Chains A and B, each alone.
Chain A
Amino acid sequence: MKKISLVHLKSNHKGKVSEITGGAGLQNRLMSMGLYIGKEITKLSYVGLRGPVVIRVGRSVLALGHGMAAKIIVEAE
């Protein structure tokens, strides 16, 4: 298993969040939306050209700006 950012995870692949490198503000915000360390996610798409990354977390679909997605490190399956 390798650790990569959400940007680099392939579309339609699953991963487990292992690290969120942003500040406490970002961590809290993601936490309140159900995205926290240990949580399993599926990447749905990446719009490309530094566009947003779309992931599925539980039953919700979240779009994250490129910079934010780069701060979320996952263990790819």
Chain B
Amino acid sequence: MIRKIYLIGNPNVGKSVVFSRLTDVHAISSNYPGTTIEFIKGYLSLRGEKIEVVDLPGTYSLEPNSSAEKVAVSLLKEHPKDEIAVINIIDSTNLERNLLLTLQLVEEGFPTIACLNMCDDAVHRGVHIDTKKLEEILHIPVISTCAVTGVGIKLLIDRIKEAAPVQIDKLPHEERWKEIGLIIEQVQHLEHRHHSLREMLEDASVRPLTGFIMAAGVIYVSFKIVRFIGEFIINKITDPFFYGTIQPLLEKLTLHWQEKSFLFHLLIGNLVNGKIDFKQSLGILTTAPYIEFGMVLPYVISFYFVLSLLEDIGYLPRLAILLDNLLHRLGLHGYAIIPVLLGFGCNVPGILSTRVLESKRERFIASTIISIGVPCVPLQAMIVGLLGVFGGFYVGGVYLVLFLIILVLGLILNRLLPGYSPEFILEIPPYRFPPLTILARKLYFRVKGFLIEAVPIVLIGVLVINILLYLKLFDIVTGVFAPVIHDLFGLPKDAIVALAIGFLRKDVAVGMLAPLGLSAKQLFIAVTLLAISFPCIATFIVLWKELGVKDLIKSTLIMITISIIVGTVLNFVVLR
């Protein structure tokens, strides 16, 4: 009686894609090892029965070497073996290395069924596997699938019931690899292929000279595409909609309203020159939706489109190799670039994915760097939208300041914290070009996730802020912090409201700065402070969960110190 199905396999063999096919639950998949850092559950209907399916983080063997692998192995041992079925997902293009785990599963007596995934890619690369023969040798069902297109999934589901324990001898690893070598000789036939363009690009991207040239090109083009798509959506879709449709509608609606009434203040906010100004009015029907849908959403879409594309192609691990050297000096190793890049979308998934790093020390450094020096897309979109008016020079300046902060902070933390930065060992995936439907699905779920998270907070946030402003309750806080804000950072005391709101959401906070009529210098300092100072509440909670209270306090103290130093230095030294 099968009550639970586990998906297990080496990192980056497509477990999450198979999982999504089996359960219709969307699990984020990418072309690099370690996308799934925790298990994900879903349900599969099998002969009218709902059976729980668990997608485990990737593991090379049943003796775990990393924290994600430990999660996988301990979950697998949670249930009695006769109540579960284990689907071992195998990368067909790399059968030999994958078989170690398969044989370990069989040896341990798990009812196992092998799923040779990515069979289309294997054929492309001239790898032919005799599944019948493999089935005879292993005595377990072997099904070849291509999960991104769905080929073989139905057969896989049909044969799950055949999973049964098999008796084989226990062997030490060395013997096992010899045995695997013999199996491979019998079942795998390699066609000789000339180096394809794809393979040449794969090699070029990890060699020093060509690698750095390619990296510069990829980063430059990525930036261009993010900007192009973002601006395209704003200029062609959202701005015409807000200014052409929403504005006349709101003006008609509010024609006879009292401008100074409480309701008007809440819904529309303040008129600028007698008109609604989406950037400055600060109403629930004006600025709140405009910030989220008119300024931030276009860039969320364009950023995640480019990031998802780079992820699925498999470029990111190559960037990790090239940056390993630099990141070592900051107490990290190359693979930390993945959490950092995810952090540019939103700090929350960035900090969660620091779990791919081995030590507590690394996770602390990476999380602190992300929450201080890595601005999320909503914040960046607002910085571009408001500060960009004064010229690209200022926007570039913010990035430069943040980059310098990351460097200096990393160098210092690496010096001061006990311990050392461990070495990395990373499997570099081949380039893959998944179908556009997979990419679109991933983009859809990421954008949906953003909207679900952001929209309620923004609406409620703007509502609460407006009530507080109306009742003039902020005046007490402004009074207390005015000396710091004014004397040290050179900002008007009203800016304290915006900085405080940064704790709620950074994009709204930058929006709050718009009506203050700040100079370029003041806006520069204010947005830089918003980026480095206290993280938003969602990030704060994740930091708490991932680091624990003690390290959270440490991290917070670092943030406050840096904010005060950087704000003061920018005000008195750099932008004098």
The total of chain A residues at the interface (CB under 8 A) is 34
Contact status of A65 and B333, CB under 8 A, knowing A32-B63, A32-B100: yes
Verify A33–B427 contact, CB threshold 8 A: yes
**Any A CB within 8 A of the CB of B317:** yes
Give the residue of B173, B203, B206 whose beta carbon is less than 8 angstroms from that of A36: B173
Query: Which residues from B are CB-within-8-Å of A63?
Result: 206, 317, 320-321, 324, 334, 424-428
Between A and B, how many residue pairs show CB distances below 8 Å? 114
A25 at the interface (CB under 8 A from B): yes
Residues of A within 8 A of B211 (CB): 45, 47
Contacts of B207 in A (CB 8 A): 11, 44-45
B425 touches A68 (CB 8 A): yes
Does B177 sit within 8 A of A, measured CB to CB?
yes
B425 touches A47 (CB 8 A): no
Given contacts A33-B97, A36-B174, contact A60 B427 (CB under 8 A): yes
Given contacts A48-B208, A62-B428, A65-B425, whether A54 and B94 have CB atoms under 8 Å apart is: no
Q: With contacts A52-B334, A59-B94 known, is A36 near B177, CB below 8 A?
A: yes
Residue of B nearest to A29 (CB): B65
Which A residues from 17 to 49 make CB contacts under 8 A with B?
A: 25, 28-34, 36-37, 39, 44-49
Complex contacts, B94 vs chain A, CB 8 Å: 58-60
Bound together, the chains give a CA A25 to CA B63 distance in angstroms of: 10
Partner of A47, one of B100, B317, B325, B427: B325
B67 to chain A, nearest CB (A): 13
Cβ of B43 < 8 Å from any Cβ of A? no
Q: Are A51 and B97 CB-contacts (below 8 A) given A25-B65, A62-B428?
A: no
Q: Are B423 and A58 in contact (CB under 8 A)?
A: no
> B236 to chain A: closest CB distance in Å?
42
Return the chain B residue nearest A69 by Cβ: B423
Task: Evaluate contact between B206 and A58: CB separation under 8 angstroms.
Answer: no
A25 to B177 CA separation, bound complex (whole angstroms): 18
Contact present for B428 and A54 (CB under 8 Å): yes
Q: Is A66 an interface residue (CB 8 A)?
A: yes
Report yes or no: A51 in contact with B63, Cβ–Cβ below 8 A: no
Q: Closest residue to A64 on the B side, CB-wise?
A: B425
Q: Which of B145-170 contact A (CB under 8 A)?
A: none
Q: List chain A positions with a Cβ less than 8 A from chain B.
A: 11, 25, 28-34, 36-37, 39, 44-52, 54, 57-68
Q: Which residues of B contact A (CB under 8 A)?
A: 60-61, 63, 65, 93-94, 96-97, 100, 127, 173-174, 177, 202-203, 206-208, 211, 317, 320-322, 324-325, 328, 333-334, 422-428, 430
8 contacts between A and B (CB under 8 A): A28-B63, A31-B177, A34-B177, A47-B322, A50-B328, A63-B426, A64-B424, A65-B424
